[in-house]
Amino acid sequence: MHSDVFSTDWRTKKPSYDLRHKEIMAKARREIDLADHLVYVTMPLTDDTKFMLAIIEHVFNASSSAIESVLEQMRYYKKLEAFPRTFGAMTDIWVRDVQDKHNFERKYAEFLKKVGEMRHAISTSSMRFKRQDKYILTNDVYSLKVLDIDTVKKYLSIAKDFVDKSEDIIKEEDARQSVLKDNE
Protein backbone atom coordinates (compact mmCIF):
# COMPACT_ATOMS: atom_id res chain seq x y z
CA MET A 1 0.00 0.00 0.00
CA HIS A 2 1.45 3.35 -1.09
CA SER A 3 0.79 6.48 0.94
CA ASP A 4 1.13 10.05 -0.29
CA VAL A 5 2.17 11.17 3.18
CA PHE A 6 5.72 9.93 2.73
CA SER A 7 6.04 10.42 -1.03
CA THR A 8 7.73 13.83 -0.67
CA ASP A 9 10.64 14.67 1.53
CA TRP A 10 10.13 17.84 3.55
CA ARG A 11 13.89 18.44 3.65
CA THR A 12 14.21 18.75 -0.13
CA LYS A 13 10.84 20.31 -0.91
CA LYS A 14 11.15 24.02 -1.56
CA PRO A 15 8.80 26.20 0.45
CA SER A 16 6.21 28.29 -1.35
CA TYR A 17 6.81 32.00 -0.93
CA ASP A 18 3.61 32.99 -2.72
CA LEU A 19 1.21 34.99 -0.67
CA ARG A 20 -2.02 33.28 0.33
CA HIS A 21 -4.20 35.75 -1.58
CA LYS A 22 -2.33 34.96 -4.79
CA GLU A 23 -2.90 31.24 -4.30
CA ILE A 24 -6.60 31.80 -3.71
CA MET A 25 -6.85 33.96 -6.84
CA ALA A 26 -5.14 31.22 -8.86
CA LYS A 27 -7.82 28.83 -7.59
CA ALA A 28 -10.52 31.29 -8.72
CA ARG A 29 -8.92 31.48 -12.15
CA ARG A 30 -8.84 27.64 -12.42
CA GLU A 31 -12.53 27.43 -11.45
CA ILE A 32 -13.47 29.98 -14.13
CA ASP A 33 -11.47 28.06 -16.72
CA LEU A 34 -13.24 24.83 -15.76
CA ALA A 35 -16.67 26.44 -15.98
CA ASP A 36 -15.80 28.02 -19.33
CA HIS A 37 -14.65 24.68 -20.71
CA LEU A 38 -17.82 22.97 -19.52
CA VAL A 39 -20.05 25.62 -21.12
CA TYR A 40 -18.34 26.04 -24.47
CA VAL A 41 -16.73 22.63 -25.09
CA THR A 42 -18.30 19.84 -23.02
CA MET A 43 -21.98 20.83 -23.12
CA PRO A 44 -22.18 21.28 -26.90
CA LEU A 45 -20.51 17.87 -27.38
CA THR A 46 -22.64 15.96 -24.88
CA ASP A 47 -25.88 17.96 -24.99
CA ASP A 48 -26.48 17.07 -21.33
CA THR A 49 -28.15 19.62 -19.03
CA LYS A 50 -26.72 18.04 -15.86
CA PHE A 51 -23.48 19.87 -16.57
CA MET A 52 -25.27 23.11 -15.70
CA LEU A 53 -25.18 22.10 -12.03
CA ALA A 54 -21.41 21.60 -12.19
CA ILE A 55 -20.99 24.90 -14.02
CA ILE A 56 -22.92 26.78 -11.32
CA GLU A 57 -20.76 25.07 -8.69
CA HIS A 58 -17.57 26.21 -10.48
CA VAL A 59 -18.93 29.75 -10.90
CA PHE A 60 -19.80 29.83 -7.18
CA ASN A 61 -16.34 28.54 -6.21
CA ALA A 62 -14.63 31.08 -8.46
CA SER A 63 -16.67 33.97 -7.07
CA SER A 64 -16.13 32.84 -3.50
CA SER A 65 -12.39 32.48 -4.07
CA ALA A 66 -12.17 35.93 -5.69
CA ILE A 67 -13.91 37.51 -2.69
CA GLU A 68 -11.74 35.58 -0.25
CA SER A 69 -8.60 36.58 -2.13
CA VAL A 70 -9.40 40.30 -1.97
CA LEU A 71 -10.31 40.06 1.71
CA GLU A 72 -7.23 37.96 2.48
CA GLN A 73 -5.03 40.59 0.83
CA MET A 74 -6.67 43.30 2.92
CA ARG A 75 -6.01 41.19 6.00
CA TYR A 76 -2.39 40.60 4.95
CA TYR A 77 -1.81 44.35 4.66
CA LYS A 78 -3.61 44.90 7.99
CA LYS A 79 -6.58 46.76 6.52
CA LEU A 80 -9.05 44.17 7.79
CA GLU A 81 -9.37 42.01 10.87
CA ALA A 82 -9.81 38.24 10.73
CA PHE A 83 -13.06 37.28 9.02
CA PRO A 84 -15.26 34.19 8.82
CA ARG A 85 -14.72 32.09 5.70
CA THR A 86 -18.40 31.51 4.91
CA PHE A 87 -19.77 32.82 1.62
CA GLY A 88 -22.48 34.94 3.23
CA ALA A 89 -20.14 36.60 5.71
CA MET A 90 -17.44 37.24 3.11
CA THR A 91 -20.03 38.71 0.72
CA ASP A 92 -21.32 41.06 3.42
CA ILE A 93 -17.79 42.25 4.22
CA TRP A 94 -17.04 42.62 0.50
CA VAL A 95 -20.18 44.74 -0.06
CA ARG A 96 -19.41 46.87 3.00
CA ASP A 97 -15.66 47.38 2.57
CA VAL A 98 -14.66 46.69 -1.04
CA GLN A 99 -17.50 47.39 -3.45
CA ASP A 100 -17.67 51.18 -3.26
CA LYS A 101 -13.97 51.69 -2.52
CA HIS A 102 -12.93 49.94 -5.74
CA ASN A 103 -15.86 51.09 -7.89
CA PHE A 104 -17.51 47.71 -8.41
CA GLU A 105 -20.87 48.03 -10.09
CA ARG A 106 -24.00 47.11 -8.16
CA LYS A 107 -24.61 44.18 -10.52
CA TYR A 108 -21.78 42.25 -8.87
CA ALA A 109 -23.45 42.33 -5.44
CA GLU A 110 -26.71 41.16 -7.01
CA PHE A 111 -24.84 38.45 -8.91
CA LEU A 112 -23.17 37.20 -5.72
CA LYS A 113 -26.54 37.02 -4.02
CA LYS A 114 -28.13 35.14 -6.93
CA VAL A 115 -25.28 32.66 -7.36
CA GLY A 116 -25.32 31.99 -3.60
CA GLU A 117 -29.07 31.35 -3.74
CA MET A 118 -28.66 29.09 -6.75
CA ARG A 119 -25.95 27.04 -5.04
CA HIS A 120 -28.13 26.75 -1.96
CA ALA A 121 -31.03 25.60 -4.13
CA ILE A 122 -28.81 22.98 -5.77
CA SER A 123 -27.53 21.65 -2.47
CA THR A 124 -30.94 21.56 -0.76
CA SER A 125 -33.18 20.54 -3.65
CA SER A 126 -35.20 17.45 -2.91
CA MET A 127 -36.25 16.96 -6.51
CA ARG A 128 -34.47 17.76 -9.76
CA PHE A 129 -35.73 17.11 -13.23
CA LYS A 130 -35.07 18.03 -16.82
CA ARG A 131 -37.68 19.80 -18.94
CA GLN A 132 -36.58 20.25 -22.56
CA ASP A 133 -33.31 22.22 -22.29
CA LYS A 134 -33.90 23.45 -18.72
CA TYR A 135 -33.05 21.99 -15.37
CA ILE A 136 -35.67 22.50 -12.64
CA LEU A 137 -34.86 22.33 -8.93
CA THR A 138 -37.47 22.14 -6.19
CA ASN A 139 -37.21 21.97 -2.43
CA ASP A 140 -39.59 20.62 0.22
CA VAL A 141 -41.88 23.66 0.03
CA TYR A 142 -41.91 23.49 -3.80
CA SER A 143 -39.94 26.64 -4.37
CA LEU A 144 -38.74 26.41 -7.97
CA LYS A 145 -35.41 27.42 -9.44
CA VAL A 146 -34.95 27.03 -13.17
CA LEU A 147 -31.55 26.72 -14.84
CA ASP A 148 -31.15 27.17 -18.57
CA ILE A 149 -28.07 27.59 -20.70
CA ASP A 150 -28.62 31.34 -21.20
CA THR A 151 -28.73 31.94 -17.45
CA VAL A 152 -25.62 29.82 -16.92
CA LYS A 153 -23.74 31.70 -19.66
CA LYS A 154 -24.80 35.03 -18.13
CA TYR A 155 -23.57 33.94 -14.69
CA LEU A 156 -20.29 32.76 -16.21
CA SER A 157 -19.79 36.05 -18.04
CA ILE A 158 -20.37 38.11 -14.90
CA ALA A 159 -18.13 35.77 -12.89
CA LYS A 160 -15.31 36.19 -15.44
CA ASP A 161 -15.58 39.97 -15.18
CA PHE A 162 -15.72 39.76 -11.39
CA VAL A 163 -12.61 37.57 -11.15
CA ASP A 164 -10.73 39.77 -13.65
CA LYS A 165 -11.55 42.94 -11.76
CA SER A 166 -10.68 41.33 -8.41
CA GLU A 167 -7.36 40.15 -9.82
CA ASP A 168 -6.60 43.66 -11.11
CA ILE A 169 -7.31 45.10 -7.66
CA ILE A 170 -4.96 42.58 -6.07
CA LYS A 171 -2.17 43.32 -8.55
CA GLU A 172 -2.54 47.08 -8.09
CA GLU A 173 -2.49 46.82 -4.30
CA ASP A 174 0.53 44.48 -4.31
CA ALA A 175 2.39 46.90 -6.60
CA ARG A 176 1.43 49.84 -4.38
CA GLN A 177 2.57 48.03 -1.25
CA SER A 178 5.89 47.03 -2.82
CA VAL A 179 6.54 50.68 -3.77
CA LEU A 180 5.73 51.74 -0.21
CA LYS A 181 8.06 49.05 1.14
CA ASP A 182 10.85 50.15 -1.21
CA ASN A 183 10.49 53.78 -0.09
CA GLU A 184 10.96 52.89 3.58
Residue spans of the domains in the chain: they are 22-117+149-183
Tell me the C-alpha distance between 85 and 68, whole Å: 8
Instruction: Decide the pairing of beta strands 127-131 and 144-148.
Output: unpaired
pLDDT at 9 over 50: yes
Instruction: Decide the pairing of beta strands 134-138 and 144-148.
Output: antiparallel
Identify the top-confidence range among 107-111, 122-126, 173-177: 107-111
pTM for this prediction: 0.85
pLDDT over 70 percentage in the chain: 90
Q: How many CB atoms lie within 10 A of CB 123?
A: 11
DSSP 8-class letter at 9: -
Quick one: pLDDT band at residue 139, thresholds 50, 70, 90? confident
Is residue 104 within 8 Å of 165, Cβ to Cβ?
Answer: yes
- Higher-confidence residue of 136 and 154: namely 154
Arithmetic mean of pLDDT over the chain: 87
Q: Is 102 exposed, middle or buried (0-12, 13-18, 19+ CB in 10 A)?
A: middle
pLDDT digits (tens, 9 = 90+) for 38-84: 999 999 898 888 899 999 999 999 999 999 999 999 999 889 898 89
Is residue 122 within 8 Å of 53, Cβ to Cβ?
Answer: yes
Average pLDDT over residues 120-147: 82
Tell me the C-alpha distance between 146 and 42, whole Å: 21
Quick one: pLDDT band at residue 1, thresholds 50, 70, 90? very low
Average pLDDT over residues 96-112: 92
pLDDT digits (tens, 9 = 90+) for 71-98: 999 999 889 898 899 999 999 999 999 9
Q: How many CB atoms lie within 10 A of CB 4?
A: 6
Average pLDDT over residues 157-183: 90
SS3 at position 128: strand
CATH fold of the domain at 22-117+149-183: Four Helix Bundle (Hemerythrin (Met), subunit A) (1.20.120)
